[in-house]
Structure 1
Amino acid sequence: MPFDVEPLLECRDVKKHYGALAAVDGISLSIRSGETIGIGGPNGAGKTTFLDVISGLTAVTSGQVTFQGKAITGIRAHKLFHMGMARTFQVTSGFASLTVLQNMLAAVVYGSGRERPGLLLTKAFRERSMACLQEYGLADIANSLVSDIPALARKKLMVASAVVHKPKLLLLDEPVGGLNPAEIDEFIDLIFHLRGRGTCIVFIEHVMRFLTTVSDRALIIHQGRLIYDGDPRGIAKDPTVKAVYLGSQAEILGAA
């Protein structure tokens, strides 16, 4: 699909230091509306910290992040959500003691941006929640407790809860971690569905088959620095990436 010329998200020399440790060390990049960006790199490379900085969970040490042309450095995560940026996490979240439908209702009501959403669950809220569950293949387990549903269903619910208010940018941290190959294939279909809706997606992932299949563009981060930004099919051919992963990430070298 065509991308907007103006960047949706832009990072300018973004750094995050913890004492002498540079978790994010001067990353600059632009992401356009409609792009799907996959981020790879070894454990401890700074990938999740980078997403935390973008999404307002962690304050930057220096540099600037802009979203839709507006500087968002210092804006808290819940405010960014209402500006059109949604985020999921490595550990699949959800209210385990509530049903799938109740979780979705919580997302619909409390993600609406109303200062006082209230406790009245209207017919419109329920209809919207059920429509979203139907869209993501969860309607048949709407009355099941989240604690009782399988990992793939929990991951789908987390994504559905994040996108019910139609964000312009969706950030995902290891969305297919812990899934088997067939479940990964099903999640690939979900990502293509979101892409078809025009959602810009930025995700971290170690499963290179997933990253190279769904990404328009791949980023590789190592020691807080961006060492690759380009075609996912070029990852295995890049000499710097090969040097970083040689001996520890054989899978990436076979992903052509």
Structure 2
Amino acid sequence: MKGLRVAGLTKSFGGVRAVDDASVTFQHGRINALIGPNGSGKTTFFNCVTGMVKPDAGIVTYHDRDITGRGAHKIAHEGIGRSFQLCRVFPRLTAVENLLAAVRPGSIVRALAPARLKSDVDRALELLTRVGIEHLADVEARDLSYGQQKLLELAGVLMADPETILLDEPAGGVNPALIERIGVLVRELNAEGRTFLIVEHNMDVVMSLSDHVVVFDRGRPIAEGPPDVVRADPLVLAAYLGG
């Protein structure tokens, strides 16, 4: 089966079960959202799926291939890219240098070298244009606004040309104009065939952007479906939306 599936995923830290026997199938080719109250296990779930953390139990499959517990770089090679809740950029590298470093992880010296591959530079500039910050190509990342850093991080994810993209709170700390820009980009990229899984607390973003919503509470899904259906679910209202 195409897409990302998780069965019985479990991860504990000490005596706390952050993810508790969670089973979810995300819709391939669609925009999926993962929501839930703080501490419900969303980021730990992300980390287990993308190889940042090894799960204690359960299976993660992508296009029916078992990717459980593989390293993050191996999962990225499968076609899964991700952003982080707190932006991960190299503050003293320019925007274009950040993208060149992203395409060759661990090779910052190569990214700064004069003999950079023209194809990589061209792609980096193309992606900076795509996210709307091409005019900042030669500006150090530390001098960008937080929203611009979010756009830069998304461009860095796209450098690897992933088929599935996981975004951890893309609207967090971002002004409304840039939230709208990120939303437009997600819709455009989805229309081009990319699948999204988005963790987000901004319910306006979730409900306007998503095709399919999964709700976590206490480490496992309690509801899923189209945004309007999830919004009205009594379990969701009790656990998260304050009903």
**Given the two structures, how large is their TM-score scaled by the length of structure 1?**
0.88
Q: 5 Å matches for 1:197-208?
A: 197-208=192-203
SS in 1 for 2:93: coil
Structure 2 distance, partners of 1:19, 1:156, is 36
The offset of 1:236, in angstroms, is 2.6
Deviations 1:99-155 (A, max 9, x none): 11111111233399xxx9995412222112111111111211101111111122111
SS in 1 for 2:3: strand
CA 139–29 in structure 1, closer or farther in 2 if over 3 Å, else same: same
Structure 1 distance, partners of 2:150, 2:69, is 29
RMSD: 2.0
Deviations 1:169-219 (A, max 9, x none): 111110110122232222211111211221111010000000111111001
Is 1:23 equivalent to 2:18 in the alignment?
yes
SS in 2 for 1:7: coil
Quick one: which of 204, 207, 227 aligns to 1:212? Answer: 207
Quick one: which of 55, 58, 61 aligns to 2:53? Answer: 58
Structure 1 runs, 4 residues or longer, greater than 6 Å off: none
CA 117–190 in structure 1, closer or farther in 2 if over 3 Å, else same: closer
Structure 2 distance, partners of 1:191, 1:22, is 32
Is 1:105 equivalent to 2:120 in the alignment?
no
1:138 paired residue number: 133
Structure 1 distance, partners of 2:123, 2:78, is 20
Is 1:92 equivalent to 2:87 in the alignment?
yes
The offset of 1:32, in angstroms, is 3.5
The offset of 1:166, in angstroms, is 1.4
Quick one: which of 14, 17, 40 aligns to 2:35? Answer: 40
Structure 1 distance, partners of 2:168, 2:88, is 12
1:157 paired residue number: 152
Structure 1 distance, partners of 2:105, 2:13, is 33
CA 78–118 in structure 1, closer or farther in 2 if over 3 Å, else same: farther
Q: What is the one-letter code of the residue matched to 2:9?
A: V
Given that residues 33 and 168 in structure 1 are in contact (C-alpha distance below 8 angstroms), is that contact kept between their aligned partners in structure 2?
A: no
Q: 5 Å matches for 1:211-230?
A: 211-230=206-225
Structure 1 distance, partners of 2:197, 2:106, is 20
Q: Which moved more, 1:202-211 or 1:132-141?
A: 132-141
Structure 2 distance, partners of 1:241, 1:125, is 45
Quick one: which of 232, 238, 241 aligns to 2:227? Answer: 232
Is 1:167 equivalent to 2:162 in the alignment?
yes
Runs (5+) with no aligned partner, structure 2: none
SS in 1 for 2:104: helix
Q: Which moved more, 1:55-64 or 1:125-134?
A: 125-134
**Number of residue pairs aligned between Structure 1 and Structure 2:** 240
2:182 paired residue number: 187
Given that residues 48 and 69 in structure 2 are in contact (C-alpha distance below 8 angstroms), is that contact kept between their aligned partners in structure 1?
A: no
**Given the two structures, how large is their TM-score scaled by the length of structure 2?**
0.93
SS in 2 for 1:110: coil
